[in-house]
């Protein structure tokens, strides 16, 4: 077999044609500007408000407004559900993604690590620097949910004479979440940040080498969002039948958010799809839009306590319908968008298919 010519070798090493680079920059920046940066700005606002709510509560525990802590938690969880669907960029550094919300969790690790944090009397355990090095399980939304929803009377536990440590831990977690959100947003928007690197067709912090690779990672995240919804949030909870369903493996089941988080993930994926699909043939967009309509309708029909519904033979068909509808959107997006956009998918987005 003849060796390739020097011209062919040089062409291969030179990377994609300029037109492909320009297209990749345009597509990636559309997603970043219209979806990703706004999602992180919303996350910063929610986590800052949550931090302030915990500070206000701590200032007067006995008369503190416990309801405000739950409202702030739900606002932060809503914002996270929009940002949760992508892992590309600075959220992947320093275990930020896992530190923000450690889920799925195995063998009650969050409970065990949170108990250890509550049992400690060392205030240094709650500094941002210490939390950044410690177990990811006890420093994010999943741990905060337990403080607010676990036990017979979580409000009384925070207000009790011996509840000072519980409040300190809640404050530390809230402050940590705000810090993570701010750091991620800054890394996206700084003059030498991720967005600027994509616009200049440069690499960023070894996460991608140029704009085409960044665009590929973002599209991979979109398809991966459906793996998150289908393979992690639905299948393990459902099991093979109602008899072997696992209601307590549902995300945020203590706070009753399982269906809501799934719905917000789907809403976020749809917004991200619109940013990608501006130059996609109209017929393909119409079909994808129709599948989203069906998926939204199916997810809306799932009861708030998704896990309990999966274990109930009477309600389980609604969960199964949502699963099938979510999978249908994933299949169509993975089949159509990469070819239409000229952007390849990474392998991770297809794991579990």
Q: Which domains does the chain have, with CATH numbers?
A: 18-199 (1.20.1420.20), 211-348 (1.20.120)
Name the nearest CA neighbour of 228 among 217, 239, 216, 236.
Answer: 236
The answer to whether residue 5 scores a pLDDT higher than 60 is no
Percent of the chain with pLDDT over 70: 93
Angle at 50 between CA 184 and CA 48, to 5 degrees: 40
Assign 110 to helix, strand or coil. helix
Count of other CB atoms within 10 angstroms of residue 167:
20
Higher pLDDT, 144 or 126: 144
Cis bond leading into 26, ω under 30°? no
Q: Please, are residues 68 and 252 in contact by the beta-carbon 8 Å criterion?
A: no
The answer to whether residue 139 scores a pLDDT higher than 60 is yes
Per-residue pLDDT, averaged over 282-298, amounts to: 98
Q: Please, are residues 306 and 252 in contact by the beta-carbon 8 Å criterion?
A: no
- Per-residue pLDDT of 182-209, as tens digits, reads 999 999 999 999 999 999 999 999 999 9
Name the nearest CA neighbour of 298 among 275, 322, 276, 317.
Answer: 322
Per-residue pLDDT, averaged over 91-114, amounts to: 93
DSSP state of 33: I
Per-residue pLDDT, averaged over 83-100, amounts to: 95
Higher pLDDT, 311 or 133: 311
- Within 8 A by CB and 6+ apart from 290, the residues are none
Tokens of 218: 């973002």
Separation CA 51–CA 99 (nearest Å): 16
Q: Please, are residues 204 and 193 in contact by the beta-carbon 8 Å criterion?
A: yes
Per-residue pLDDT, averaged over 69-90, amounts to: 97
Per-residue pLDDT, averaged over 268-289, amounts to: 96
- Per-residue pLDDT of 297-336, as tens digits, reads 999 999 999 999 999 999 999 999 999 999 999 999 999 9
Beta bridge partners of 208: 204
């Amino acid at each position: 077999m003849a060796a390739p010519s020097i011209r062919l070798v040089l062409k291969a090493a030179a990377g994609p044609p300029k037109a492909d680079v320009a297209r990749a920059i345009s597509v990636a920046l559309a997603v970043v500007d219209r979806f990703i940066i706004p999602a992180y700005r919303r996350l910063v606002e929610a986590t800052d408000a949550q931090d302030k709510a915990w500070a206000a509560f701590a200032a007067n525990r006995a008369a503190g407004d416990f309801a405000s802590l739950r409202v702030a938690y739900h606002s932060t969880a809503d914002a996270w559900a929009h940002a949760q669907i992508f892992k590309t960029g600075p959220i992947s550094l320093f275990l930020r993604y896992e530190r923000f919300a450690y889920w799925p969790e195995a063998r009650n690790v969050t409970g065990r690590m949170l108990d250890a944090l509550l049992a400690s009397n060392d205030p240094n355990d709650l500094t941002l620097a210490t939390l950044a090095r410690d177990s990811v399980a006890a420093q994010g939304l999943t741990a905060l949910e337990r403080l607010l929803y676990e036990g017979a009377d979580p409000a009384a536990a925070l207000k009790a004479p011996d509840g000072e440590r519980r409040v300190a831990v809640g404050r530390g977690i809230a402050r940590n979440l705000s810090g993570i959100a701010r750091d991620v947003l800054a890394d996206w928007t700084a003059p030498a940040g991720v967005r600027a690197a994509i616009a200049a067709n440069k690499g960023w912090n070894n996460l991608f080498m140029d704009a085409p690779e960044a665009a590929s990672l973002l599209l991979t995240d979109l398809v991966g969002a459906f793996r998150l919804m289908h393979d992690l949030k639905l299948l393990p909870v459902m099991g093979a039948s109602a008899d072997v369903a696992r209601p307590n493996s549902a995300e945020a089941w203590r706070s009753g958010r399982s269906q809501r988080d799934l719905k917000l993930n789907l809403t976020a994926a749809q917004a991200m799809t619109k940013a990608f699909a501006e130059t996609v043939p109209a017929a393909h967009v119409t079909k994808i839009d129709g599948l989203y309509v069906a998926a939204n309708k199916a997810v809306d029909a799932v009861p708030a306590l998704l896990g309990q519904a999966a274990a109930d033979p009477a309600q389980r068909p609604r969960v199964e319908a949502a699963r099938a509808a979510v999978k249908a959107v994933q299949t169509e997006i993975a089949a159509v968008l990469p070819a239409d956009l000229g952007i390849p998918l990474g392998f991770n987005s297809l794991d579990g298919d």
